[in-house]
Chains A and B, each alone.
Chain A
Amino acid sequence: MLNDASSGWQFIVMLVLMGLLAIAALKRPLPRTLAHGVVLLASLGLLLITLYSLGDYAQRALAETSSSARVSQGAAFWVMVFCCALAAIDAFQRTSSGWLLRLGYILIAGGSVAMLFASGHFDDLSIMREYANIRDDFGDQFITHLVLVGSALGPALLFGVPLGLLAHRHMRLRGALFSVLNFFQTIPSIALFALLIAPLSALGNAFPFLGEWGIKGIGAAPAIIALVMYALLPVVRNTYAGLKGVPPATVEAARGMGMTARQVLWRVEIPLALPVMLSGLRIVTVQSIGLTVVAALIGAGGLGAFIFQGLGQYAIDLVLLGAIPTIVLAVIADFTLQMLVVLSKPAGTRR
C-alpha cells in the first residue's frame, strides 16, 4: 500500500498535489494559463515527493535488517513517474510556452533529482547497491556509448551532407542514392551487425595491420559501420529536403545579383535549410543512442552491455542501469537538438 511505503506527511503532500492536478484537469474552475501552471508545478512536486518517499522508505525499512536485504521500486512507482512526466509534457504542449521556460523547467527537475542522488538519499535502494558494485565499469561503458554514438555521427554528417547536396543538384543520382539508403534502413539492426562480422574479420585476417587498427569482426568497427549506414538516410534526406525547401525565386535572385555558386550555397541555401538539416541530425542522434545498445551484442560495449548482462542473469537492476541512462541520454539529446533547431531558424523566418 502506498501509505505503508510513505510516512504520514509524505502521503498527505501527495494527496494534496493529486487534488491540485484533479482541479486543474476540470474544465471550469481555473483560467487556462493558471491551470497549466498548476499542472506544471504539481507534477514536478509529485515527482520529487515520489522519489523522496522511495529513498526514505528504503532507509527506514533497511535500518534494522541484515545487509543482504534489498528494497526495489514496484509498479506503482513507475506509474507515478510516468504520470507526472505525461502531465508535464501535456501541459507544455497546450501552452505555447517558449523554449526558455521549458529549459528552466527541465533544469530544475533534473537538478533536483540529481541532488537527491548526490546526497546519497537513494543509496539503500537495490539499484544503487548494484550501481556501487559496478561503478567503475559503468563509467567506462557510459563513455564507450558516447564515443560510439559520436564516431557514428561524425562520418554520417561528413558523407551525408555532401550526398544530400548532390541529391539536390543532380536529379538522376537522387533516385539511386535514396533507394540504396532506404535499403540499409530496412535491414534489421541485429542482422546488419551479424552480417558485418564475416567480411570484417576476413579483412582483419588478410591484412594484419588493419586488425591492429581495430578492424575486426567484432567490437567497435562493425558497430560504427552499421550505425553510420543507418544514420546516412536521415542526414541525406533532411539535407536534401532542407535545400529543396529554399524558394527557387530566392536562389534565382541570389544568382541574378552576382553571387557565385559557393556564395549562394553558404549565404542563402544553407542558412535557410539549416533548421531542417538539424532536425535530421536530431533524428539520427536519438536513433544512434538507441541502436548503440544493440551493438553491445557484438562486443562493442556501451550501456547495452549491462542490459544484456542483466537479462542473462535475470538481474532487473542491472537492466535498469543500462536502460535508464540510455533513455535519459536520448531525451537530453532530443531536447538539446530541438532547441538548436529553433535557434537555427533565421530571424526573418522565425514567427
Chain B
Amino acid sequence: MIELQGLTKRYGDTRVVDDISLTVEQGEFCVLIGPSGCGKSTTLKMINRLIAHSEGKILVGGEDITTLPPERLRRRIGYAIQSIGLFPHWRVADNIATVPRLLKWPSSRIAERIDELLALFQLDADGLHDKYPHQLSGGQAQRVGVARALAADPDVLLMDEPFGAVDPLTRDALQVELSRVHRQTGKTIVFVTHDMDEALRLASRVALLNGGQLVQYDRPAELLVAPANDFVRDFIGRADLGLKLLSRRRVEEYCRPAQRTRNNATASAPITWQVDADDRPMALLGGRLGESDIARTVVNNEWSATPEMSMKEALSRMVWFRVTALPVLDSEGRLLGEVTMAGVMGHRP
C-alpha cells in the first residue's frame, strides 16, 4: 500500500507537484497520467526518493519513507524504466540479479530466482540468460527490465514509461504480459504513461494530473463515464469515447446464450448457429444486415470471439466481416454463447 499525503515538490517558486493526496491499495494497478510536465514522473520518483519531496508525507506499507536510508528503501521497491536503463556491460542474468546481489542473497537462491523470472516472462528459450542487452530485441529488453525490477520480490513496483520506446505491436504484447504478471503476482504497481489507451488497458485506477495537481483519481470506467471536468473530458478524447469504454469491457460481460441447430436449413431465430456433434459452430444462419434471413455464413477462426477478448476487438471484427453476431468459443472451440451488435447497443455504459 502506498499513501501520498499532501505531497508537494518545489523548485524555487514553481510547484511542479502541488499537494497531491492519494492512496494506492494493496494489489492495485495505479496509472499516473497527464500531459508532459504535469509532474507524473516527479511524483513517481519521489516514492523511491530519487527526488526528495518538499512537503507532505509518503508512506509505503505504512512506513514513512524518510525513516529509511534511501538505498534500503529502493531495494525494497521495484523500479523499471525504458530499456535503455539496462546495464549494457552486464549479461541478462546479471542485470536481473542486480538487487538480489545488493541484498547479498546466496548465489544458489539468486540463480533460482533468475530462472523463475525468465520463465515468468517467457524468456527462458534461446539462451537469453547469457546475452548482453544490445543483443536483445526491444520487447525482450523491456521484459528483462521488468523482470529485474521484480527480482527481489518487492511488494511495490514503480514503472516510468517502461514501454515508451518500443513499437506498437510489441507494446501491445508487453501490456498483455504485464497484466498477466500483475494478476499472477498481485503486486502493487504505480505506472507512469502519457498514453490514455495504455492507461485504460492496464489500470485498475487512474490518477490524472495536470499542472502538478491531481485532477481525478478513479476507476477507468468512472473516468470515462463521469469525468470531473472539461480538462478530463478533453484529455480522454471525446471522439472515440465509446470505443475506449468498450476496450475496458470483456466479451464475457456481453455474452448471452446462443440458438443452436444441427441441420442446415431451418433457422428458429434471426440469429442461429449451426453446430456439429461436438458443439463446434460451423455456420451462422441469418445475422447479416440487408440480406435475407436465411443467409448462411461459414464460421472461421477470425470472426469468432473468446471470453477474454475486449469488446472493442469483438466489435471491430463484426464490422470488418459484416456480421451482426460473433460466436464466443472456449479454448476447445466449443460454442459458449454469442455477442451481438444489438447486445453492444443494449448494454448501459
**A contact residues vs B (CB 8 Å cutoff):** 247, 249-250, 252-260, 263, 268, 271-272, 346-349, 351
B183 within 8 A of A: no
B348 within 8 A of A: no
Bound CA–CA A53/B277 (angstroms): 98
Residue of A nearest to B75 (CB): A258
Chain A hits for B251, CB < 8 A: none
**Contact B50–A252 (Cβ < 8 Å):** yes
A214 → chain B, closest Cβ, in Å? 43
A266 → chain B, closest Cβ, in Å? 12
Q: Which of B79-87, B215-223, B310-318 contacts A (4 or more CB under 8 A)?
A: B79-87
Chain A hits for B102, CB < 8 A: 257-259, 263
Number of residues on chain B facing chain A (CB within 8 A) = 26
Bound CA–CA A81/B132 (angstroms): 44
How many A-B pairs have beta carbons closer than 8 Å: the answer is 68
Chain B hits for A260, CB < 8 A: 71
**Contact A257–B89 (Cβ < 8 Å):** no
**Contact A258–B81 (Cβ < 8 Å):** no
Residue of B nearest to A260 (CB): B71
**Contact A257–B88 (Cβ < 8 Å):** no
Knowing that A249-B85, A253-B79, A256-B158 touch, tell me 19 more A-B residue pairs with CB under 8 angstroms: A247-B84, A249-B81, A249-B82, A250-B87, A252-B85, A253-B86, A255-B50, A256-B48, A257-B99, A258-B99, A258-B102, A259-B102, A272-B88, A346-B88, A346-B89, A348-B89, A348-B91, A348-B134, A351-B134
Residue of B nearest to A253 (CB): B85
Chain B hits for A258, CB < 8 A: 71-75, 99, 102
Bound CA–CA A263/B91 (angstroms): 18
B43 → chain A, closest Cβ, in Å? 15
Q: Interface of chain A, helix or strand or loop or mixed?
A: helix
Bound CA–CA A249/B141 (angstroms): 14
**A-B contact list, 12 entries, CB within 8 Å:** A249-B85, A253-B81, A253-B85, A256-B50, A256-B74, A258-B73, A258-B102, A272-B88, A272-B89, A348-B90, A349-B88, A349-B89
Residue of A nearest to B92 (CB): A348
**Contact A271–B50 (Cβ < 8 Å):** no
Q: Hey, what's the 0/1 contact readout for B84-106 against A, CB within 8 Å counting as 1?
A: 11111111000000110010000
Q: Hey, what's the 0/1 contact readout for B131-174 against A, CB within 8 Å counting as 1?
A: 01110000000000000100000000010000000000000000
Contacts A255-B50, A263-B102 given: A348-B88 contact, CB under 8 Å?
Answer: yes
A345 → chain B, closest Cβ, in Å? 9
Residue in A257, A259, A349 whose beta carbon sits within 8 Å of that of B134 in the complex:
A349
Q: Choose among B50, B71, B158 the residue with the greatest number of A CB atoms under 10 Å from its CB.
A: B71
Chain B hits for A347, CB < 8 A: 89, 132
A245 → chain B, closest Cβ, in Å? 11
Bound CA–CA A78/B333 (angstroms): 86
Chain A hits for B85, CB < 8 A: 249-250, 252-253, 256
**Contact B75–A271 (Cβ < 8 Å):** no
**Contact B87–A254 (Cβ < 8 Å):** yes
Q: Choose among A257, A263, A268 the residue with the greatest number of B CB atoms under 10 Å from its CB.
A: A257
Bound CA–CA A257/B101 (angstroms): 11
Chain A hits for B87, CB < 8 A: 250, 253-254, 268, 348
Chain A hits for B50, CB < 8 A: 252, 255-256
B48 → chain A, closest Cβ, in Å? 6
**Contact B75–A257 (Cβ < 8 Å):** yes
Q: Choose among A256, A259, A271 the residue with the greatest number of B CB atoms under 10 Å from its CB.
A: A256
Chain B hits for A272, CB < 8 A: 88-89
A218 → chain B, closest Cβ, in Å? 48
Bound CA–CA A255/B75 (angstroms): 10
A348 → chain B, closest Cβ, in Å? 3
A94 → chain B, closest Cβ, in Å? 27
A222 → chain B, closest Cβ, in Å? 42
Q: Hey, what's the 0/1 contact readout for B116-142 against A, CB within 8 Å counting as 1?
A: 000000000000000011100000000
Residue of B nearest to A272 (CB): B89
Bound CA–CA A253/B75 (angstroms): 12
Chain A hits for B98, CB < 8 A: 257, 259
Bound CA–CA A268/B98 (angstroms): 11
Residue in A257, A263, A351 whose beta carbon sits within 8 Å of that of B79 in the complex:
A257
Residue in B73, B75, B99, B133 whose beta carbon sits within 8 Å of that of A348 in the complex:
B133
Residue of B nearest to A255 (CB): B50
Chain B hits for A271, CB < 8 A: 89
**Contact B81–A252 (Cβ < 8 Å):** yes
Bound CA–CA A168/B18 (angstroms): 32
Bound CA–CA A351/B85 (angstroms): 19
Bound CA–CA A253/B158 (angstroms): 12
